[in-house]
Amino acid sequence: MRLSCTVNGTPRQVDDVWEGESLLYVLRERMGLPGSKNACEQGECGSCTVYLDGLPVCACLVAAGQAQGREVGTVEGLAPAGELHPVQQAFLEAGAVQCGFCTPGLLVATDDLVTRSRAEGRTPADAEIREALAGNLCRCTGYEKILDAVRLAADRMAGDPR
C-alpha cells in the first residue's frame, strides 16, 4: 500500500508499505527519521513516542496503515528551525540526557504535558509530571534530573527565564 500522511508539517508518501508494518519502522527505516527509538516493540518503554493527530502514542504499537491521511509529529519536528526546542534545552541544561535512548520519548511526553498545562494557564505539579512520564522508562538516571528538566521547561515555556 501507499502511505500518505503529514510528518512534522510536511506531506510524505511511502510506497510498498505492508499494512501491519509499524509506524515506528516506517518513520525510521522508510522516511529516514531515526529520532524515535526502537526498544521494546511492546509499548512499554515510551522511547518511540510520537504525536498522532496531536496525541502522544507509542509508534511501535501503531500499524503504519493507521497513519494514512493523518498528522504525525516526531522528536525531529519539535524544533524544525534547527534550534533547540525549550524542552530539549532544559534536558541538556538539567543533565537529564545520558545514553539518549529514552530521550526522544521523554521529550515528546514532556512537550505534550507542558503544552497542555500552558493551555490551561498553569505549570504542571510534580505528581502530574510523574504521571505524564510514567510510560517512559530510563535505565540510566534516577529520574530526578528528568523531573528537574521538565520543571525547567515548564517554567521557561510559561515565561519564567530561570
Q: What is the pLDDT of residue 91?
A: 97
Same domain, 15 and 51: yes
pTM of structure: 0.94
Same domain, 72 and 101: no
Q: Are 18 and 30 in contact (CB under 8 A)?
A: no
Domain edge (last residue) among 20, 50, 76 = 76
Q: What is the pLDDT of residue 161?
A: 64
Same domain, 147 and 93: yes
Q: Is residue 137 part of a domain?
A: yes
Same domain, 37 and 64: yes
Q: What is the pLDDT of residue 133?
A: 96
What are the two backbone dihedrals, phi and then psi, of residue 138, each rounded to the nearest 5 degrees?
-130, 125
Residue tagged 528528568 (cell numbers): 146
Distance CA 162, CA 160 (A): 6
Which parts of the chain register pLDDT below 50?
A: none
Domain interval for residue 102:
86-159
Distances (CA, A) of 136 to 11, 37, 56, 143, 146: 29, 12, 12, 10, 11
Q: How many other C-beta atoms lie within 10 A of the C-beta of residue 121?
A: 7
Same domain, 42 and 96: no
Domain edge (last residue) among 76, 97, 119 = 76
Same domain, 120 and 97: yes
Which residues neighbour 72 within 8 Å (Cβ) at sequence distance 6 or greater?
5, 6, 7, 8, 23, 27, 50, 51, 52
Q: What is the pLDDT of residue 19?
A: 72
What are the two backbone dihedrals, phi and then psi, of residue 4, each rounded to the nearest 5 degrees?
-120, 125
